[in-house]
Amino acid sequence: MRDITDIADVKRRFVGYLTLEKGMSQNTALAYSDDVDKLTRYLADSGVAVERASTDDLEQFVCTLSDVGIQPRSQARIISGVKRFYKFLRMEGYMDTDPTELLPGPRIGRHLPEVLTVAEIDAMIAAIDMSKPEGQRNRAIIETLYGCGLRVSELVTLKMSQLYIDERYVIIQGKGNKQRVVPLSPVAIEQINLYLEQTRSRQVVQRGSEDILFLNRRGAMLTRQMIFHIVKQLCELAGIRKVISPHTLRHSFATHLLEGGANLRAIQQMLGHESITTTEIYVHIDRSRLRDEILAHHPRNHPA
């Protein structure tokens, strides 16, 4: 066991470990680093060296998270970052034992994400103004988000070289640079082809965006914020009162597949989930919706 003489250097190496060895994105690794910053500031104020912290010290830190109003889900993410950090410290020889092994996490209720019905998705598509230059592009975006169950980051970075139109599939570069193959629906293929022919082929493309599929008016890659704006605007125009985001289309994709009888493992592969546990939330959505249907329509649930 050795003492930490430069905590800033240790944190930099921790971020490098997460990105290079664990395959995390830079944004995820930096988020974990920010969580560790919260811990190191707390321990410094308490006069405790990071490598000398006990499980009791860390439990007190977790208590302060609740005291300052941090929600259980955010607490869980912070604790996850702290646990990864201490595993790294032990691996690097700064600690003989891991004080986070017995560190409990907060209780988190299962949060069921919002899901759109097929009719609501159709209403969003019908709300697209096809007379505008960006109309066909937006139609193709919605069909691709919903038809392939993509994350918004995967959509904006989607390359034309990843499309295999004739074979009807697309290769997605997901989290941790992991690739997966996702089938393209006939509708998505049709709308992407129309976008390529009518819109993208006529654009002046900025350097560095030559292979990017969906472009803004200036011929550059779209931002995540722009996709959020497009989805939110279409939702409002369609009269949908649910609070949704581009990720809602991904949730809807998975839920509708499950309702249609798709295998959970197949859905896991198409979504790019590392663990089947993550995908299982859609089983709960399906059961929750079934319960609502029973309560709404079963004759025993209505007063005589």
Mean local confidence (pLDDT), 132-156:
94
Query: What span, in angstroms and rounded, lies between the C-alpha atoms of 243 and 225?
Result: 16
What are the tokens at 138? 């937006």
pLDDT digits (tens, 9 = 90+) for 39-80: 888 898 889 888 888 888 888 888 788 667 777 778 888 888
pLDDT band at 297 (very low <50, low <70, confident <90, very high): very low
Residue with the larger pLDDT of the pair 37 and 105: 37
Which pLDDT score is estimated for 300? 40
Query: What span, in angstroms and rounded, lies between the C-alpha atoms of 28 and 41?
Result: 20
CATH number of 118-296: 1.10.443.10
- Which of these is catalytic: 17, 94, 146, 282? 282
Q: Which of 137, 65, 53 is closest to 89 using CA atoms?
A: 53
Which pLDDT score is estimated for 139? 97
Q: Is 247 a catalytic residue?
A: yes
Q: Is 151 a catalytic residue?
A: yes
Burial class (CB in 10 A: 0-12, 13-18, 19+), 234: buried
Strand order from edge to edge, sheet including 169-173: 163-164, 169-173, 179-183
Query: What span, in angstroms and rounded, lies between the C-alpha atoms of 158 and 61?
Result: 41
Query: What span, in angstroms and rounded, lies between the C-alpha atoms of 27 and 248?
Result: 22
Q: Is 297 a catalytic residue?
A: no
pLDDT digits (tens, 9 = 90+) for 183-220: 898 999 999 999 999 999 999 999 999 999 999 999 99
The answer as to CATH 2.40.30.10 being correct for domain 7-91 is no
pLDDT band at 276 (very low <50, low <70, confident <90, very high): low
- Which of these is catalytic: 11, 90, 139, 273? 273
Mean local confidence (pLDDT), 276-288:
57
Mean local confidence (pLDDT), 154-168:
94
Residue with the larger pLDDT of the pair 209 and 277: 209
List every span in the chain annotated with CATH 1.10.443.10. Answer: 118-296
List every span in the chain annotated with CATH 1.10.150.130. Answer: 7-91
- Which of these is catalytic: 137, 250, 251, 256? 250
Strands (E), 89-244: 163-164, 169-173, 179-183
pLDDT band at 138 (very low <50, low <70, confident <90, very high): very high
- Which of these is catalytic: 151, 200, 251, 256? 151
What Cα–Cα distance (Å) separates residue 31 from each residue in 19, 76, 82, 263?
A: 12, 13, 11, 33
Which pLDDT score is estimated for 168? 92
Q: Is 229 a catalytic residue?
A: no
Burial class (CB in 10 A: 0-12, 13-18, 19+), 14: buried
What are the tokens at 223? 């931002």
Average pLDDT of every residue of the chain: 84
Which pLDDT score is estimated for 237? 96
pLDDT digits (tens, 9 = 90+) for 233-275: 999 999 999 888 898 898 888 888 877 777 777 778 888 877 6
- Which of these is catalytic: 38, 159, 175, 289? 175
Contacts (Cβ under 8 Å, ≥6 apart) of 133: 199, 217
Phi, psi of 124 (to 5 degrees): -65, -45
**pTM: predicted TM-score of the whole model, two decimal places:** 0.60
pLDDT digits (tens, 9 = 90+) for 25-42: 888 888 888 888 988 888
Q: Is 87 a catalytic residue?
A: no
- Which of these is catalytic: 247, 251, 265, 284? 247
